[in-house]
């Protein structure tokens, strides 16, 4: 079995203020657990159906990911750090001691 991924306290503190709070319906499974499950699936590359049960039902993990995606939660969480980081272009290395790579033919 793959090693489980859990958000650290620091990671959760950074994400918690941005979690959706206006959710209706049945009592929700803990967002930190579900978010850890979503990140586990993305990080490990497993299918949603194969998400370990420690994160809750795989359908809950997938449905939460999908619902948040429709609300642009993921986009907004990624846009803010990207905008704060500057131009978005990769910086060229200051210097290089190795010759440029040659194409393989």
Q: How many percent of the chain have pLDDT more than 70? A: 67
Q: Which residue has the higher pLDDT, 11 or 62?
A: 62
What is the C-alpha to C-alpha distance for residues 29 and 36, in angstroms, rounded to an integer? 12
Sketch the domain layout of the chain as residue ranges.
Answer: 30-78
Residues in the chain: 105
**Residue 73 CB: number of other CB atoms within 10 A?**
16
Cβ-contact 73, 17 below 8 angstroms: no
Segments in 1-105 forming alpha helices (H): 9-15, 31-44, 58-70, 73-84
Residue 36 — very low, low, confident or very high, per pLDDT cuts 50/70/90? very high
pLDDT recorded at residue 78 = 67
Q: Which residue has the higher pLDDT, 27 or 97?
A: 27
């Amino acid at each position: 079995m793959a090693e489980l991924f859990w958000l650290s306290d620091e990671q959760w503190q950074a994400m918690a203020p941005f979690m959706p709070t206006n959710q209706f319906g049945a009592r929700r499974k803990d967002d930190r657990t579900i978010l850890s499950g979503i990140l586990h699936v993305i990080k490990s590359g497993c299918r949603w159906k194969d998400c370990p049960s420690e994160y809750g039902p795989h359908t809950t993990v997938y449905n939460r990911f999908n619902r948040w995606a429709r609300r642009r939660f993921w986009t907004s969480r990624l846009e803010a750090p990207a905008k704060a980081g500057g131009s978005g272009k990769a910086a060229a290395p200051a210097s290089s001691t190795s010759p440029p790579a040659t194409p393989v033919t």
